[in-house]
Amino acid sequence: PLIMGIETSCDETGVGLVRGCELLGDEVASSVEQHVRFGGVVPEVASRAHLEAMVPTVHRALDSAGAKLSDVDAIAVTAGPGLAGALLVGVSAAKAYALALGKPLYGVNHLVGHVAVDQLEHGPLPKPAIALLVSGGHTSLLLVRDVATDVQSLGDTVDDAAGEAYDKVARLLGLPYPGGPHIDRAAREGDPRSIRFPRGKWGDGTYDFSFSGLKTAVARWVEDGERNGSDLSVPDIAAAFQESVADVLTRKAVDACVEHGVGSLVISGGVAANSRIRALAEQRCAEAGVELRVPRPRLCTDNGAMIAALGAEVVAAGLPPSTLDLATDTSLPINRPLAV
Ligand code: ATP
Ligand code: MG
Ligand code: FE
């Protein structure tokens, strides 16, 4: 079946078309430039932009897939978690398409979509797999026995998400929003060993993470440097910060694979685009004999294909469709791939 996926949880309007593990169309309209001057996503601005982008993005996705609306067999949409007003635009559009086409509607979980998208790049997910989800709002380590029906959280961040830490540290360093890609780029010119920043919850026997202490350590380093009039090297700070994040994330993810006897690790979410996390994960997975799967950066950040990919799995699992009174859920828990 041909699945159309609609994503509007944050500031990307995404529409994807997927058949099984095959990606046929993937169009994203982002309102990120409209948020830059505020240093973060403004919910009302994002909702408004989704409203304007929705229908044109659906048609661009259909065109790029060489398909017509009437070819679509089912519609999957992000029901949560995300911004209330933003989610509402996508869910309303999905309901309208489902009703008009007479096709089933599936309200799915954005976070699980970040994991499911890997199938479009590397084929069917091994069962089970460990997934490290690192995005703007979330940082979780997951045991995924079945992406449509059985996702279990092993650990979470106790404070900031990894992406949030990148964005806050970028601001401290005077780099633009969103900060992740800027820190990644600056770090290439820096020495990760020039400063030793703390590794939150390192070796604490849990799969939880903490990034607020690291952020504070960077803030203090910058303040001290400014007070002493010393020459602050943004590339060195960026590289040392990035090393701390990559070190803890990849260490705990590989430990989870070993402890649970799982042979495959998926890393996904916007922060999985990070070059140092990718490189360190590759090295440590190779040492541990674990297969590493990281989708290409375009699929790691928010898009509609990830929602279609999860929709395809939900349909294949034979789960019942959502009804037309499907509600948005801004804090949909990760252990529910399908919203009820
Ligand atoms: P969530 O999925 O939790 O609702 P979100 O959808 O806003 O949050 P994503 O779009 O998955 O998050 O990811 C955005 C985050 O990824 C931002 O914090 C951004 O700074 C970060 N990011 C993007 N590219 C990189 C990179 N190369 N290195 C580090 N972080 C990055
Ligand atoms: Mg975004
Ligand atoms: Fe996301």
Ligand-binding site membership of 274 (annotated): yes
Q: What is the model's pLDDT at position 20?
A: 94
Instruction: Name the residue at shortest CA distance from atom 13 of ligand 1.
Output: 270
Of 10, 135, 188, 266, the residue with max ligand 1 atoms within 8 A of its CB, to mutate for a pocket test, comes to 135
Q: Is the pLDDT of residue 26 over 90?
A: yes
Q: How far, in Å, CA of 323 to CA of 320, rounded?
A: 9
Q: What is the pLDDT of residues 193-220, one digit of tens each?
A: 999 999 999 999 999 999 999 999 999 9
11 CB less than 6 Å from ligand 1?
Answer: no
Q: How far, in Å, CA of 294 to CA of 115, rounded?
A: 10
Q: Which residues is 266 bridged to in the sheet?
A: 131, 293
* 151, 155, 159, 163: CA torsion to nearest 10: -60
> Packing angle between helix 275-288 and helix 180-187, nearest 10 degrees?
70
Instruction: Name the residue at shortest CA distance from atom 25 of ligand 1.
Output: 180
Q: What is the model's pLDDT at position 294?
A: 98
Average pLDDT, integer, range 3-31: 97
Ligand-binding site membership of 167 (annotated): yes
Among 148, 203, 197, 204, residue whose Cα is nearest residue 169: 197
**pTM of the prediction?**
0.94
Give me the amino acid identity at 166. Y
301 Cα: distance to centroid of ligand 2 (angstroms): 7
329 Cα: distance to centroid of ligand 3 (angstroms): 15
Q: What is the model's pLDDT at position 256?
A: 98
Taken as a whole, the chain contains a residue count of 340
Q: What is the pLDDT of residues 263-315, one digit of tens each?
A: 999 999 999 999 999 999 999 999 999 999 999 999 999 999 999 999 999 99
pLDDT grade for 33, boundaries at 50, 70 and 90: confident
201 Cα: distance to centroid of ligand 2 (angstroms): 27
Instruction: Name the residue at shortest CA distance from atom 31 of ligand 1.
Output: 180
167 CB less than 6 Å from ligand 1?
Answer: yes
Q: What is the model's pLDDT at position 318?
A: 98
